[in-house]
């Protein structure tokens, strides 16, 4: 085939080479993000895993590159760490359940009840907190939970008082912080649910509750699981909120942070725990088909 006259210009020639070679095009397109992911993410994960097998000098606190599995046996057998892992898991589960329960009616109202204008406003309202700094929100909650603070003042007349800084506060604040990540997938799942399925269910004799259980829930559950991937893993990894409103509460995040300077290998072994939990959770969620709706 005779080369077209413009092929002489180098840019055109490069373009025409790229046009013919789909593989090369794809490789160029993906190389930057792939490098970023592989080096920055997988690389650091590998280093983490590696350092978990090292030891630390008892006097100098220097890291010694001697292979051993002592860190892992400490994490698995030491009751303190087991309690911390279970507490973290409990917090993540509680936050996820609370978010699912709170998000559902909100998302339902947005997707199926509100008029289009209201709906847009509500979507913006759900997204706005994500624009504010995480720290600002956490400190705001610190003020709310403080002794003689807003919460005390609010529930005082009922004879109650603020739970103060601790696990409850951590759960409440994390549930607040991650709520948008649950609302949005559930909202889009509900919005994609054809309205005439609800009509058909009512037509066949189902009450609203029955329709919810038999038609809405089974079809929106994958979206809830999709949202739960965010709420669950973000809660497992958090330590800033715990520092701000958790009082003396220890979670995996704070335990890791405390150990990083003193015993890096132990911190590395500890951080394998949330990784294992999240991978286990993802595998469980994948079986529900939720990952397809992400």
Partner 1 sequence: MKSDDSPPHPDRPAGAVRLEGLAKSFDGRVRAVDGVDLEIGEGEFFAMLGPSGSGKTTVLRMIAGFERPTAGRVLLGGVDVTALPPFDRDVNTVFQDYALFPHMTIEQNVGYGLMVRRVPKAERAERVRAALAMVRLEGFERRRPAQLSGGQRQRVALARALVNRPKVLLLDEPLGALDLKLRHEMQAELKRIQREVGITFVFVTHDQDEALTMSDRVAVFNAGRIEQVGSPAEVYEHPATAFVAGFVGTSNLLDGAAAEQVVGETGLFSVRPEKIRIAHPDDPAGPDELSATGRVAEVVYAGGHTRFLVDLEAGGRLTAVRQNLDEGSADVLRHRGTDVVLAWQRKHTVRVGP
Q: Nearer Cβ to partner 1, position 201 or 271?
A: 201
How far, rounded to the nearest angstrom, does the alpha carbon of residue 14 sit from its chain's CA centroid?
42
Nearer to partner 1, 133 or 196 (CB): 196
Strand partners, 63: 56
Residue by residue, what is the 3-state secondary structure of 168-227?
A: HHHHHHHHHHHHHHHHHHHHHHHHCCCHHHHHHHHHCCCCHHHHHHHHHHHHHHHHHHHH
Structure tokens at 171: 């759960």
DSSP-based three-state secondary structure for 24: helix
Q: How far is CA 211 from the centre of its chain?
A: 30
State the binding string over 141-180 for partner 1 (x if CB under 8 A, else -).
Answer: ----------------------------------------
Euclidean distance between CA atoms 34 and 40, whole angstroms = 10
Residues 176-215 that bind partner 1 (CB under 8 A): 194, 196-197, 199-207, 210, 214-215
The residue among 215 and 266 lying less far from partner 1, judged by its C-beta, is 215
Q: Binders of partner 1: how many residues, by CB under 8 A? A: 17
In angstroms, give the least distance from the CB of 286 to partner 1.
Answer: 18
Taking residues 218 to 237 in sequence order and writing x for each that binds partner 1 by CB under 8 A, - otherwise, the string is xx------------------
Q: Min. distance of Cβ 108 from partner 1 in angstroms?
A: 18
Residue 68 or 118: the one with the smaller Cβ distance to partner 1 is 118
Give first-to-last CA distance, the chain, whole Å: 47
Instruction: Rule CB under 8 A: say whether 293 interacts with partner 1.
Output: no
In 3D space, the residue among 132, 140, 232, 130 whose CA is nearest the CA of residue 184 turns out to be 130
Nearest-approach distance from CB 109 to partner 1, in angstroms: 20
* Residue ranges binding partner 1 (CB under 8 A): 194, 196-197, 199-207, 210, 214-215, 218-219
């Amino acid at each position: 085939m005779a080369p077209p006259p413009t092929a002489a210009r180098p840019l055109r020639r490069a373009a025409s080479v790229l046009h013919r070679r789909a593989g090369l095009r794809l490789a160029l397109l993906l190389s930057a993000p792939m490098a970023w992911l592989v080096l920055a993410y997988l690389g650091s994960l590998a280093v983490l895993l590696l350092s978990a097998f090292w030891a630390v000098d008892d006097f100098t606190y220097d890291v010694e590159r001697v292979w051993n599995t002592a860190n892992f046996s400490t994490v698995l057998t030491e009751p303190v760490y087991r309690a911390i892992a279970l507490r973290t898991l409990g917090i993540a589960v509680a936050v996820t359940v609370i978010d699912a329960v709170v998000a559902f009616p909100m998302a339902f109202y947005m997707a199926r009840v509100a008029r289009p204008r209201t709906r847009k406003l509500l979507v913006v309202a759900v997204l706005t907190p994500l624009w504010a700094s995480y720290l600002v929100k956490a400190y705001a909650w610190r003020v709310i939970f403080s002794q003689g603070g807003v919460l005390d003042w609010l529930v005082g007349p009922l004879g109650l008082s603020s739970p103060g800084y601790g696990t409850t506060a951590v759960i409440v604040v994390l549930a607040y912080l991650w709520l948008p990540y649950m609302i949005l997938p559930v909202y889009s799942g509900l919005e994609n649910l054809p309205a005439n399925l609800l009509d058909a269910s009512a037509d066949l004799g189902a009450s609203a509750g029955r329709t919810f259980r038999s038609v809405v829930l089974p079809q929106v559950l994958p979206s809830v699981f999709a949202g739960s991937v965010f709420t669950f893993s973000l809660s497992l990894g958090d330590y800033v909120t715990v520092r701000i409103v958790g009082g003396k509460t220890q979670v995996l995040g704070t335990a890791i942070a405390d150990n990083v300077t003193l015993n890096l290998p132990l911190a590395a072994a500890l951080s394998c725990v949330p990784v294992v939990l999240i991978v286990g959770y993802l595998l469980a969620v994948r079986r529900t088909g939720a990952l397809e709706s992400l």
